[in-house]
Amino acid sequence: MNAKPKVWVARPVFPEVLDRLRQYFEVEAQAEERPRSPAELKAGLAGADAAIVGLADRIDAAVLDGNTRLKVVANLGVGHNNLDLDALTRAGVLASNTPDVLTESVADFAWALMLAAARRVGAAERWLRAGHWPGSNMRFDDWLGLDLHGRTLGILGMGRIGQGIARRASGFSMRVLYHNRTRLPEAVEQECRATLVGKPELLAQADFLVLVLPFTQANRHAIGAPELAAMKRSAVLVNVARGGIVDDAALAAALREGRLAAAGLDVFEGEPQVHPDLLALDNAVLSPHIASASEDTRRAMANLAADNVIAAFGFGDVAGQPPTPLNPVVMSHWAAGKA
């Protein structure tokens, strides 16, 4: 009997997902969460037929160089700017991501950040925990925040997550504007009660601006000093997309100088480092890239990554049909025996 193919799992994941993989594969799973150097990634991938990697693992031509064994890389995330898809395709490696299963949880979390930033939840909690409440003579007009209901929500990037955020807005009686490369079908616009506008209008009108666009070089600093200057001084900015879409230094300056009311940020340029100016600001609510981190969703993401690997090797219920491939052309190369 042939030996089982091998999966290298670069990040600790749920044991039951590893057990599913073990039905078909030899599994080498990393037990420890820590940054992995390009050399470690290269060595891990060199000895494997498939890999499950995290968003911090950069898989590029250098890491793939000389690897003739690897067939599949499954990313634990919907965003895949850590993968060089051209290099993977050239190397005959199928890549996959985890769309859909995280849409609603990330949309929930965008609202958590909007609410927390608008109503100063983080700063108020820090104040309470520091013991300031007793004896503070807290006034009726202390801790005033901003209302969400009745305001204008702007969404930059109107994919599945943007639409999920928009659908929730009707519960807050908010007007929804969006800007996207392409207009949504009319039925979806109606369901989301969202109106397409140009980026300048979005910046000018939004009381809450939520970023949900993928990171590309073209989107780097899509929100920088000029865009921040075009926003209302009373506006709240929320980023659940990717670090680098916002110029964090420019954002910190705008928040510090009162040119923007507040921000809720789950992602940062150069994370896990966070710009020190942001750390010093009470009107920024900061979380460590956890928008998809609900119990159910993280399990679903890990299972979807495993499904892609299992199916790509012709195992399981959907053998030969990985559910969420990013470069499916690779499979036709396999079929033609070119890979």
Instruction: Please report how close the Cβ of residue 331 comes to ligand GLV at its closest, in angstroms.
Output: 23
**C-beta of 102 vs 238, nearer to ligand GLV:** 102
User: Judged by CB under 6 A, which stretch of 77-85, 154-162, 181-189, 303-311 contacts ligand GLV?
Assistant: 77-85
Could you say which DSSP state residue 170 is in? Answer: G
- Asked if residue 81 binds ligand GLV (CB under 6 A), the reply is no
**C-beta of 79 vs 157, nearer to ligand GLV:** 79
Q: What are phi and psi of 277, to 5 degrees?
A: -65, -30
Instruction: Please report how close the Cβ of residue 160 comes to ligand GLV at its closest, in angstroms.
Output: 12
Instruction: Figure out which of the listed residues 77, 162, 322, 325 binds ligand GLV, where binding follows CB under 6 A.
Output: 77
**CB–CB of 192/168 below 8 Å?**
no
**C-beta of 79 vs 264, nearer to ligand GLV:** 79
User: Judged by CB under 6 A, which stretch of 73-81, 220-228, 254-262, 316-324 contacts ligand GLV?
Assistant: 73-81
User: Judged by CB under 6 A, which stretch of 33-41, 61-69, 76-84, 171-179 contacts ligand GLV?
Assistant: 76-84
Q: Which residues contact 150 (CB under 8 A, 6 or more apart)?
A: 172, 173, 174
Instruction: Please report how close the Cβ of residue 171 comes to ligand GLV at its closest, in angstroms.
Output: 24
Here the tokens at position 145 are 């925040």
**C-beta of 92 vs 243, nearer to ligand GLV:** 243
- Asked if residue 157 binds ligand GLV (CB under 6 A), the reply is no
Instruction: Please report how close the Cβ of residue 336 comes to ligand GLV at its closest, in angstroms.
Output: 32
- Asked if residue 292 binds ligand GLV (CB under 6 A), the reply is yes
- Asked if residue 78 binds ligand GLV (CB under 6 A), the reply is yes
Q: What stretches of the chain show up as alpha helix (H) in DSSP? A: 15-22, 38-46, 61-64, 85-90, 103-118, 121-129, 160-168, 186-192, 199-205, 225-229, 248-256, 276-279, 295-312, 329-335
Instruction: Please report how close the Cβ of residue 99 comes to ligand GLV at its closest, in angstroms.
Output: 9
Q: Which residue has the tokens 């892609």?
A: 308
Q: Using the Cα atoms of residue 209, residue 271, residue 8 and residue 12 in order, give the sign of their dihedral.
A: negative
Q: What are phi and psi of 105, to 5 degrees?
A: -70, -40
Instruction: Please report how close the Cβ of residue 77 comes to ligand GLV at its closest, in angstroms.
Output: 3
**CB–CB of 9/28 below 8 Å?**
yes
Q: Tell which positions 89-108 bind ligand GLV, by CB under 6 A.
A: 102
**CB–CB of 336/83 below 8 Å?**
no
| Closest residue by Cα to residue 319 from 329, 327, 331 | 331
Residues labelled as active-site residues? 242, 271, 289
Q: Tell which positions 109-138 bind ligand GLV, by CB under 6 A.
A: none
- Asked if residue 79 binds ligand GLV (CB under 6 A), the reply is yes
Q: Tell which positions 53-72 bind ligand GLV, by CB under 6 A.
A: 55
Using a 10 angstrom Cβ sphere, with 0-12 exposed, 13-18 middle and 19 or more buried, the burial of residue 141 is: exposed
Query: Which residues are at the interface with ligand GLV (CB under 6 A)?
Result: 55, 77-79, 102, 292
